[in-house]
Amino acid sequence: MTTTLRDADRVLRGVGVGRGAAVGPVVRVHPAPALPPAEPAVADPAAAVTAALDAVARDLDALAESADGTLREVLRATAAMADDEMLRTEALRRVAGGTAPARAVDEAVEEVCATFTAAGGYLAERVTDLRSVRHRVVARLLGLPAPGVPLLTEPSVVVAEDLAPADTAGLDPRLVLAIVTEQGGPTGHTAIIAGQLGLPCVVRAPGASVLEDGDRVAVDAAAGVVHRDPGPALRKQLAGRAADLRSLAEDTAPGATADGHPVALLANIGTAEDARALPPGAEGVGLFRTEVLFLSRAVAPAVEEQADVYAAVLASLGDRKVVVRTLDAGADKPLPFAGLPPEENPALGVRGYRLARRRPELLDDQLRALALAARRTGTEPWVMAPMVATPAEASAFAARARGAGLSTVGAMVEVPSAAWSASALLADLDFVSIGTNDLAQYTMAADRLQGDLTDLLDPWQPAVLGLVERTVTAARAAGRPVGICGESAADPVMALVLVGLGVTSLSMSASSLPAVRFSLRQHSRATCTEIARAALASPDAHGARAAASARVAPEVRRTLALPEQG
């Protein structure tokens, strides 16, 4: 580089995913193809569009077959977008009206994206994936190289405006040191896949576009910072921290506080492949997202097919705990076979357990399949329903699950009404699990996909912590376990607060387990309670985080590079 860098250009700030750090050269993702002023003429434009969509669908399906776990299912869903009837119809309609093939696809994608964005929820999250399909199809129509991650020849930091699942499919963890994106968010596909691969990641980093191929950068996920041209002192510091984090992963003892109070440390999974890949430090599964099996299916999977998948997960875990969440889908995660009409506000509509109001057979088949898998494997899975809002719903679900032959039944606490009525909710349940992502969304009336509202969505909001406390208090009085399976469980400081409130288990991405285990090991249960009291007494999210962080043991602060709180 021959240009002189300003100090402001040397540090890019975003949202960190994970605790890791890495230093290496930048490799930029190939950009999306731009439309030329005039496209080359083709003999049959409609046939060209159809062939390009078919080819991209095949390519994405092939990538899916070579991928593992959740990534495989995400890629399958993206491949299905290339076959989406709405997209094809819109593109071919434009071609029939005289629009050139690549421009027709571009315009059709933008129209579908607008529809998805307006729908919100899961559909809005798929806009990045849909545009990934657009880029691949347009590149094929124009005879250009496919956009995405280039072939890596050395360990590198991948930098992009955003990454679609198709871009991440070819990422080799041996050659990818870290990921940096200018867009995206901490719960998007890039963040999820980075967590699955154990890669340091910084998303939503304005200015990442100034980075060029070959620039040397230091990616600090714990601080959410990217340093351009890092000096020797910073490189040494980050290398030492990376070594510390690797050593933490060698500890696979059961989760516990310094004085031996047990806290089960569990993992979130979406597929049987995820279950088979769990490290020894995972004491079980606290959230098995079964909807991955259902998404992008033309028809619902049969009972036998579901049972095979559930049995594979249960067999992989052996005698370790497995908590299975029933189908969490609806208008925000549309199922082609469910026949649900569009909703103006799908986050508040027919989703989760409410789907049983219209398609009860989907839930009953799933419960039968899980019971069948339990009998085949000789295990006793736990099962819980998402989006339970009332004690009557909890009671009805418990009756259905036990009627199917399942003995340990619970519910997700994701809406304020469930937390507020937790005592009555637990009358017919064996456990509850708190989903802090949705609980924050519904408590603060803030859409999880609205980046401008991230301060309201912060799980450190005292109102959210107060509802967690109310739920835990009810569970303790009823003698029932209560877990956390939202993103807050992966925060080594928040984990102390949750344990101080009385939470009995924490479930997170497998790569987050070592840091949380280490943090708990350095604090007594009494200290965790003190930290929780300090957070609850704070007036706002910033104050709660600062109050908790100020009481964290120095060794944890140093090893995990926790940011200073002012």
H helix intervals, 120-164: 121-125, 127-142
The C-alpha atoms of residue 161 and residue 159 are separated, in whole angstroms, by 7
The C-alpha atoms of residue 214 and residue 544 are separated, in whole angstroms, by 41
Look up 189 and say whether it is catalytic: yes
For the chain, report the end-to-end CA distance as a whole number of angstroms. 36
- The residue from 189, 201, 523, 528 that is catalytic is 189
The C-alpha atoms of residue 339 and residue 298 are separated, in whole angstroms, by 11
Nearest one of 386, 215, 200 to 288, comparing CA atoms: 386
**23 phi/psi in degrees, rounded to 5:** -130, 135
Beta strands in 357-514 (DSSP E): 382-385, 408-413, 431-434, 482-484, 505-508
Degrees (nearest 5) of the Cα angle 477, 483, 489?
135
Look up 485 and say whether it is catalytic: yes
Residue 120 contacts residue 347 (beta carbons within 8 Å): yes
Residue 23 contacts residue 216 (beta carbons within 8 Å): yes
Nearest one of 184, 190, 186 to 206, comparing CA atoms: 184
The C-alpha atoms of residue 158 and residue 180 are separated, in whole angstroms, by 6
Residue 64 exposed, middle or buried by CB count within 10 Å (0-12, 13-18, 19+): buried
- The residue from 113, 135, 201, 485 that is catalytic is 485
Nearest one of 1, 5, 7, 11 to 227, comparing CA atoms: 11
Lateral strand order in the sheet of 15-17 = 11-13, 225-228, 216-220, 21-28, 156-160, 176-181, 201-203, 15-17
Active site residues: 189, 485
